[in-house]
Structure 1
Amino acid sequence: MDELRIGIVGLGNMGGTYCGQFSAGEYKRCRLTAICDSDAQKLEAANAGDAKRFSDAREMFESGLIDAVIIATPHYAHTTLGIMALEKGLHTLVDKPISVHKADCERLIAAHTDSSVVFAAMFNQRTDPRYIKLKELIDSGELGKINRINWIITDWFRTQQYYSSGGWRATWAGEGGGVLLNQCPHQLDLWQWLFGMPAKVRAFCGVGRYHEIEVEDDVTAYLEYADGSNGVFITTTGEAPGTNRLEIAAEKGRVIIEGDDLQWLRNEVPTSEWSKTCQGGFQKPAQWEITIPAKGRGPQHVGIIRNFIEAVLDGKPLIAPAEEGIHSVELANGMIHSADIGQTVNFPLDGATYEAALKKKIETSTFVKKVDESAGKAADMSSTY
């Protein structure tokens, strides 16, 4: 194959952005040949050149006009459309999260039976130089054993109008969660990508703490690993201006990512070794102050789509295989479930148990959402942050 023919399903904020990128010539050796949305106005307005317009995804998948598809719809449809696309033999790129809950992730992943079909996820933060360099430090052993992780990611501020702009937003039936399912899949993916999956979590979720919504908009979670290391993950959409600070305490010092670059206060002697051999009671090991430059944020969404195209045409390894998307969903599910039952939750999470709990939430919900009709139907089909 010399040229990849791509379709996009869902023309909200992200799908519309992808259309514009194709029209602007961001991607080589490919063409946007089809787009799909149930909203006729969005189909008409889309910046997609002469791409064929479809109102039905199955019809587009069976049209013979595409070799690959980008799915940028609201969350629950990621599973159903992803399965449909994979069963049709289409190379598939699913926006985050790959599914709402672990059981659906397992169903989606099980549909990927043909290894020649490329299946990727939109975890664009994996292209950020800061996190790439941190992963290199961890994987090389330069930091030594990690003892503690703190991530405060509270710069997701959203207004009530944001939540009122679409009926699916911040509801159990429409989105399957709040800040953990919408804003934080990237950070949860990075957490497991960098540090692996914990053994257990105890979380506290504020449901509608700052907004008139029925899902979590404030989370504090404690995560514990099998080797005794631990971490705290704090997030919300209710604080302004908010903070984005990742701090890692390891045997060979402390690394902080806050803004540009990595700040590494490096121990000349590992902490545990110094503790056992130092003859004094209060002295700390000598340290080096190291700045590891990591300017910019990398190619982000464009980088993931380019990588997807190269994986199909050239066999290049994926930056973000979709199968790895189950881990961020499992972390989000585990945190919500822990808060719901008021107990520590062990990993791996029982997907069926969580699915049943989520269904019960939907069935018993009495929340009546105020939707700003002036925002129009377009907001209902947006896959946004």
Structure 2
Amino acid sequence: MKKIRFGIIGVGNIGTVHARYLLAGTVQEAVLAAVCDNNPDKHPAIRRLVGEEMRLFSDAREMLESGLIDAVIVATPHYDHPGLSMMAMRLGIHTLCEKPAGVYTAQVQEMNACARECNVVFSMMYNQRPNPLYQKVKDLIDSGELGELRRSNWIITNWYRSQSYYNSGGWRATWKGEGGGVLLNQDPHQLDLWQWLVGMPVRLRAFCQFGKHRQIEVEDDVTAYAEYANGATGVFITTVAETPGTNRLEIVGSRGKVVVEEGRLRFWRLRESETDFNARWQNGFGEPECWEVTIPTEPECSEHYVITRNFTAAILHDEPLIAPGLEGIRGLTLSNAMHLSTWTDDWVELPIDEQRYFQLLQERIASSVEKNMASRTLDASGSW
């Protein structure tokens, strides 16, 4: 059986997760063939992880040109994602990029153009898309079971991060090193799922708090309000400083409501649409008959290896990608819009003004403070 030979660029928190499942043979048609990290201080720990026989590089280009790999997982800090991904693509290496694809949308446009020109498979590590709970929600929406969408609310506050987490790397939570906070680091999965399920809004107003709860430059608390072409609305609330946190997605349509919370999906179905009921009802108080319907779903699964397995199958068997690189721009557009709305204290219409966003981001990068601290690899097992 042919196996895709993988390399990993960046063996930090999440790169270590990828290395472990590849070394364990969890993806049957894939094998870890090489790893790369440009921090020599981490090499002894990486060597203990991958063994003495694994090729360990300090230079990404050297690994990409080594002939040892067919595909690469880019798991470095955010600003490096576009450049390293496109370097790999131009060398004919299939590319699986950790979230987010980049820091600003113009970068991702360039990445997708490069993937097309180089004729390589390009996918995003959106490992929440295969989750059976969200797969079923999408099925309910796409099949018309919810009717016309009216409202969505996502409260995602179970991203608790202590100050010691931010102190584990000089690049973390700075405009220069990361380009954002909770929206860029923790929430790309939810922002991707939000637009994947209910579509992209036409305009958005956001309130980002920068360094409100932690000694960081970037946002650690966000509330955003979105409006859609059909009149629907959405609210997205997130922070890294609440515990116990909440992860609750609620979507309401003209024919019912779906809620995903605590690993469970609940669906309330109206016997007739709210629109039809409202048109015929003449008795004042009253509402459509409603049933809570049990929806069978497979056990919840959001493991990273599911995306890697799909990516591998796309290379070998032309299997459709769960998270095509082409779609990496949409969730990032939402986070860029939230920043831009806060920076300008105004509504932002989508698609956003990419040049304006880039200009304001550069202003913040210019005043970004260098953090002098030793980098530490933390245990990210169980992380999204």
**TM-score category (smaller protein):** over 0.9
Which residue in 2 is equivalent to 1:16? Answer: 16
Q: Which moved more, 1:352-361 or 1:75-84?
A: 352-361
Matched, 1:32 2:32: yes
| Displacement of 1:116 | 4.0
In 2, are the aligned partners of 1:260 and 1:293 still within 8 Å (CA)? no
Equivalent in 292, 313, 337 of residue 289 of structure 1: 292
| Displacement of 1:101 | 0.7
CA 1:330 to 1:137, structure 2 compared with 1: closer, same or farther past 3 Å? same
Q: Distance in 2 between matches of 1:82 and 1:182?
A: 18
In 2, are the aligned partners of 1:36 and 1:43 still within 8 Å (CA)? no
Equivalent in 263, 268, 272 of residue 275 of structure 2: 272
Structure-2-length-normalised TM-score = 0.95
Equivalent in 168, 172, 178 of residue 169 of structure 1: 172
What is the aligned residue count?
379
Equivalent in 328, 331, 344 of residue 328 of structure 1: 331
Provide the secondary structure at the position in 1 that maps to 2:323: coil
Equivalent in 204, 208, 212 of residue 211 of structure 2: 208
Which residue in 2 is equivalent to 1:308? Answer: 311
Equivalent in 355, 358, 362 of residue 355 of structure 1: 358
Matched, 1:228 2:231: yes
Q: Distance in 2 between matches of 1:60 and 1:157?
A: 35
| Displacement of 1:48 | 2.2
Q: Which moved more, 1:109-118 or 1:33-42?
A: 109-118
**Could you tell me which amino acid in structure 2 is paired with residue 241 of structure 1?**
P
Matched, 1:117 2:120: yes
Structure-1-length-normalised TM-score = 0.94
Which residue in 1 is equivalent to 2:86? Answer: 83
Q: Distance in 2 between matches of 1:72 and 1:192?
A: 23
In 2, are the aligned partners of 1:94 and 1:121 still within 8 Å (CA)? yes
- The RMSD of aligned alpha carbons is 1.8
Q: Distance in 2 between matches of 1:337 and 1:379?
A: 32
Matched, 1:247 2:247: no
Q: Distance in 2 between matches of 1:277 and 1:335?
A: 41
| Displacement of 1:166 | 1.1
Deviations 1:170-223 (A, max 9, x none): 110010000000000000000111111100000001111111111110000000
Equivalent in 364, 367, 371 of residue 367 of structure 2: 364
Provide the secondary structure at the position in 2 that maps to 1:292: coil
Q: Distance in 1 between matches of 2:27 and 2:257?
A: 39
Deviations 1:83-105 (A, max 9, x none): 10111111000000010111111
In 2, are the aligned partners of 1:22 and 1:48 still within 8 Å (CA)? no
| Displacement of 1:368 | 6.2
Equivalent in 325, 340, 343 of residue 340 of structure 1: 343
Q: Distance in 2 between matches of 1:338 and 1:20?
A: 40
Provide the secondary structure at the position in 2 that maps to 1:82: helix
Equivalent in 143, 159, 168 of residue 162 of structure 2: 159
Unpaired runs of 5+ residues, structure 1, are none
Which residue in 2 is equivalent to 1:298? Answer: 301
In 1, are the aligned partners of 2:89 and 2:118 still within 8 Å (CA)? no
Provide the secondary structure at the position in 1 that maps to 2:339: helix
Unpaired runs of 5+ residues, structure 2, are none
Which residue in 2 is equivalent to 1:146? Answer: 149
Q: Distance in 2 between matches of 1:368 and 1:282?
A: 62
| Displacement of 1:379 | 4.5
Give me the identity figure in percent. Answer: 50
Deviations 1:125-146 (A, max 9, x none): 0011100000000111111101
